[in-house]
Amino acid sequence: QVRLVESGGGLVESGGSLRLSCAASGLTWDYYTIGWFRQAPGKEREGVSYISKNNRYIYYAGSVKGRFTVSRDSVKNTVYLQMNSLKPEDTGVYYCAARAGTGLTLNDRTYDYWGQGTQVTVSS
């Protein structure tokens, strides 16, 4: 059974940092592109970042580029999202997802497995 579990969310002041973790079980971690998504209250889910199967390709949405860093620890079957210089508009539920298909995308409909999400709240 495939399971993705996010952790590391919380309440932080504007300008602060958080590191989210996405731990996986039940799949061969390195065979999947891992994406991070977020959903703010009343808004659609949006793609934040992905790291490709071989870690060769990394992508960030413009709204987080330069502030967020994604990385993978294959030994621990964990992907991290380091979030610095957080802003109130970064508030939302953050999800990690795994995608086995070819190509690189943050189209959430193409991701196969999802975690339950972790809440990030940035106060102004």
Residue 103 pLDDT exceeds 90: no
The Cα–Cα gap between 1 and 124 comes to 40
Q: To the nearest 10°, the Cα dihedral for 53, 97, 84, 122?
A: 180
Region 3-30: mean pLDDT is 95
Residue 92 pLDDT exceeds 90: yes
Check residue 29 and give its pLDDT: 82
Cα-to-chain-centroid distance, residue 94 = 6
Query: Which DSSP state fits 15?
Result: T
Residue 121 pLDDT exceeds 90: yes
The Cα–Cα gap between 66 and 60 comes to 9
Query: Which DSSP state fits 77?
Result: T
Region 19-31: mean pLDDT is 92
pLDDT in tens, 40-64: 999 999 999 999 998 999 999 999 9
Q: Which pLDDT band, with edges at 50, 70 and 90, does 30 fall under?
A: confident
Region 108-122: mean pLDDT is 97
Sign of torsion over alpha carbons 71, 114, 98, 88:
negative
